[in-house]
Structure 1
Amino acid sequence: MNIPSLVSSLAASHVQYFPPSRVLNSGMRMSSMDPKQERALLHQARDDPAAFRELYNHYFPRVYAYVSYRVGRVRDSEDIVADTFLTALDKLDTFEWRGEGSFAAWLFRIARHRVSDFYRRGRGSEETIPLEELPDLASGVLFPADAVAQKEKFACLRRLIGTLSPRRQEVITLRFFGGLRNKEIAALLELDERTVASHLCRGLEDLHRKYLDEFGSKEDMHDEQTR
């Protein structure tokens, strides 16, 4: 059992449960953009807002995955993401390019503040996703019993992430749902990279321990039965 892989599967399956109602492009993926191209688009977008569309299309899946995981409701997530990009476009003149990853950190800082504002206004609530409505983890065709077991793990993992310290929750969410690298997370949270790496490592270790406490005996029994 590999916790980073399991969290990655959770992130990949998450948007299946919280799909945006406006599908921009079914082929969009959380890929990287060449820094030179990104900087050129940012420069062009200052005078031509239409040039911002390519940046929007590129970052939308990552920002949406992060926000929807934090918020938990499609309509609220869409509103926050839309506000994030509108704010970014409106304040683009204030952005200062500091090398690769600087725009991603700046954009996610806006998204993070919008999520905080959402909860500060009392609009958010900690909701438990009904087990029967959870998506299957992306792992091919499963027998019904295996599908139920995976959904249980999915629900458990979401809950266990919520038991981590706020900082470790944030680092793990930004890393696996926002697709940010340690350098970008460090810039966003105003930490050094080693501190981010430490939070990520210890957070995953905590998840591993908590997960084994919850599922370890069940997996051992399953292994015995399948031998």
Structure 2
Amino acid sequence: MNSLADNVLMLRVKEGDLYSMGVLFKHYHRELFGFFYHMYGNPDACEDMVQTAFYRMIKYKNSFTGEGPFRAWMYQLARNVLRDHVQQNKRSYHGQNLDDFAEKIGGGTLADESLQKTEQAIQLRNALALLSDAHREVLVMSEYQELKYKEIAEILDITEGAVKTRVHRAINELKIKYLKIEHER
């Protein structure tokens, strides 16, 4: 889907066409789940947050003007859902215990190369969890959600240059955290 098609669908939702919301849900469900998962970590809570985000899209449909891209509006709602969830649950949103996660995915016999990739992924996830909220958010949006800097700038209401700076700083901070975890191993 493209931005214009998404905007048209959301404008239809605004007029009461819930079938169009179903199309948007089908297209963006996984993407939003990925965003919440990389920001929060608990799959069950992430699924709940996805549902809440789509519920809010319907509830606050009149706030969508169609002037900006639907995706930016959707992520602004998603960020609010995440913030509300964290506040309500008084829990760190660095996610579930990653050691428990490692045990779940590391069970059985794995080839050494596969096990090493799994360990590296866990170390990367641990390093990502140690980043500041702002740095984790821009990395998740740019690297995992593959949003363009322009889209991130619209979502965060900052300039593209500020996004580039944040991403650069976040990557540098992530490298430091990752290497520290690697060294402690």
Q: How far 1:115 moved relative to its partner? A: 1.2
Identify the match of residue 63 of structure 1 among 26, 29, 32: 32
State the TM-score, normalized to the length of structure 1: 0.70
Q: CA deviation at 1:174?
A: 1.8
**Matching of residue 41 in structure 1 with residue 41 in structure 2:** no
String of CA shifts for 1:124-161, please: whole Å, max 9, x gaps: 344322223237xxxxxxx6211221121111111111
Residue 188 of structure 1, CA deviation: 1.4
- Distance, in Å, in 2 between the alignment partners of 1:177 and 1:206 is 17
How far apart, CA to CA, are the structure 2 residues paired with 1:34 and 1:152?
Answer: 36
Residue matched to 1:105: 72
**What TM-score, normalized by structure 2, do the two folds share?**
0.84
Give the share of equivalent positions with the same residue, in percent: 23
Comparing 69-78 with 106-115, which one deviates more in the overlay? 69-78
- Asked if residue 208 in structure 1 is aligned to residue 158 in structure 2, the reply is no
Match of 1:30 in 2: none
- Residue 79 (str. 1) matches residue 48 (str. 2): yes
Q: Distance in 1 between matches of 2:178 and 2:49?
A: 31
Distance 1:93 1:210 in 2: 42
Matched, 1:148 2:115: yes
Q: Quick one: distance in 1 between partners of 2:162 and 2:75?
A: 19
Q: Tell me whether 1:186 sits opposite 2:179 in the alignment.
A: no
Letter paired with 1:58:
H
Aligned residue type for 2:105: L
Return closer, same or farther for 1:121/1:35 CA change in 2, 3 Å cut-off.
closer
Question: How many residues are aligned here?
Answer: 178
- The alignment yields a C-alpha RMSD, in angstroms, of 2.4
The one-letter amino acid of 2:151's match is: E
Out of 70, 92, 103, the residue aligned to residue 132 of structure 1 is 103
Return the alpha-carbon distance in structure 2 between the equivalents of residues 182 and 214 of structure 1.
Answer: 29
Q: Secondary structure at the match of 1:134?
A: helix
Query: Which residue pairs with 2:137 in the alignment?
Result: 170
The superposition leaves residues 85-123 of structure 1 with CA deviations (integer Å, 9 ceiling, x where unpaired) of: 011022112112234xx2111111111111111111125
